[in-house]
Amino acid sequence: MTLELTVVDAFTDRRFAGNPAAVCLLEAFPDDGLMQAVAAEMNLSETAFAVARSSEHADLRWFTPTVEVPLCGHATLAAAHVIGRSVTFHTRSGDLACSISTEGLIEMDFPADPPAPAEPPEGTGLGPVAWFGRGRRYTLAQLESAAAVRTFVPDFPVIAARFGDGLIVTAAGDHAGVDCVSRFFAPNLGVPEDPVTGSAHCTLAPFWAPRLGRRSLLGEQASPRGGTVRMRTAGDRVVLGGRAVSISRVSFLL
């Protein structure tokens, strides 16, 4: 048995930037333990496994190096890029419709996850916080400035103990065309700092849209690799947009 995977840099239009994800197209899902072992071997923030139902529909699952996750943006973008046409993925988070424009922009229809205000716990190392709240999956902390986001030094044991599946730190954008900047940390999922996180923007979009007075936004994830995510709020959904570049192919001999 051979598993063929394509590694894709997602939420970027150039190689060696954005967030890399591995994509494996299959006729049927193998054993869960095998998919988890492959994801651990790839050691990327996510490896996606897709099984086609038809030319326009596929089942999709995502694994970090340590666990299966219910939703992943950049690996969904990568999977749509590898398939190369508009497709609806059937997932643990519902149906995710992806469309590809003639210019190569991929848009994905995801569930929104707006944060509700909460009292920040003590001893988090966040520093001054302008706003704090929690969505269904992630905690969001608005820091005082984009500079504070860019220079934030995460305490991973504290983040793992206090913030469940992940912590988003964010602030208003600090240069033209960028509405917000963010970083994302998920040590409990085996991803200390994720380069570009589509699912985090399901929380960022409904947080920033009313504050900035518009539905369409551009977010910069200020990780060392960096990347940009287009966002458009649509009721209880968020349309995420970005580009992707295939970077390598890997064969597992099993």
Q: Is 156 helix (H, G, I), strand (E, B) or coil?
A: helix
Please tell me the distance from the alpha carbon of residue 225 to that of residue 197, in angstroms, as a whole number: 12
Give the three-class secondary structure for 12.
Answer: coil
Q: Radius of gyration (Cα) for the chain, nearest Å? A: 17
Is 46 annotated in the active site? yes
- Kind of pairing between the strands at 87-91 and 116-117: unpaired
Q: How far apart are CA 54 and CA 71, in angstroms?
A: 22
How far is residue 23's CA from residue 112's CA, in Å, rounded to a whole number? Answer: 24
Q: What's the Cα-to-Cα distance from 40 to each of 20, 75, 185, 248, rounded to whole Å? A: 14, 15, 18, 17
At 32, which helix (H) or strand (E)? helix 32-42
Burial 210-239 (b: 16+ CB within 10 A, else e): eeeeeeebebbbbbebebbbbbbbeeebbb
Query: Among residues 41, 46, 56, 103, which one is catalytic?
Result: 46
123-153 burial, b at 16+ Cβ within 10 Å, e below that, comes to ebebeeeeebbbbebbbbbbbeebebbbebe
By CB atoms closer than 10 A (0-12, 13-18, 19+), residue 162 is middle
Q: Give me the active site residues, please.
A: 46
